[in-house]
Structure 1
Amino acid sequence: MSTYNPRGSVAPPEGLDKDLDPVCSAGYKLVYWGKAGNYLKFRCPHAVGRCDCPHGMSWCSSSNYGYILKINYKTNPRRLGYPLRSSSEWKKLYDKRTSVERCNSRLKKYLNLDKNRFKGIQKVKIHALFNCIALIAGTTAVNSTKSLKNTA
């Protein structure tokens, strides 16, 4: 699953893979190692034991702890936010989208609320209410004809 809209995009920025996750100089995805204030910490995957890098830890860092990358996620939250998009915490938050957001999406898609040509909030509100009435009336009509066919 892509974590961003790839339409019209080019190669990801240097140091990031196609999912915008940081990678080491050998090309392996860095392992998330926690958060300290506004900084997300990532560690060398070879040092953690997630991969067997042919160059070892010395390729990325001279430290015996391995390469550490700290990124301030508040400088560009669109690129890297907290919690990470690949984490289970982010997936749980993403799944908590409300029915209102889905309703707004349907209204925009099926009733042309995204192509509004009215000026003023009152006119837009009236147009949206008429669209909602049309959506509810259509749904009620379909449901009533289905129930009539089932009883006959």
Structure 2
Amino acid sequence: MANGGFEKDRGTLKKLCPAKQYGLTCEGAAECPEAQGIRISLEEDRRIFTPIDRSSYKWKRAYNKRTAVERVNSRLDVSFGFENHTIRGMEKMKVKCGLALCIMLAMALGRIKENQPEKMRSLVS
């Protein structure tokens, strides 16, 4: 089924017939019970059915942002050693994480200025 959008007033995802949605001809369209499409309530399973349909481009862009943030978190944990730390206190931890993020940005900026954009995410030369 093709993505038909989110109906906020009903709280449902709308799924449409792919043939109808993409302008294709379908031999069984006359007797198809789902020719007008179906609605799936978000209450069915909130983890699977979200207001942004998982098959949409909007979902892909949002999930790519999440993946990028997870890569930064992993770099903080593994490369900068925050996974096994002995830092006591939230303020000290915020300062050290902020410094680590500044270092990552400075290294990326340096790589771009040196015309090495392919090495922008690399911590070593």
Higher relative contact order (CA 8 A, sep 6+): 2
Question: Aligning the two structures, in what range does the TM-score lie when normalised by the shorter sequence?
Answer: 0.3 to 0.5
Q: TM-score, normalised by structure 2?
A: 0.47
**Larger Rg belongs to:** 1
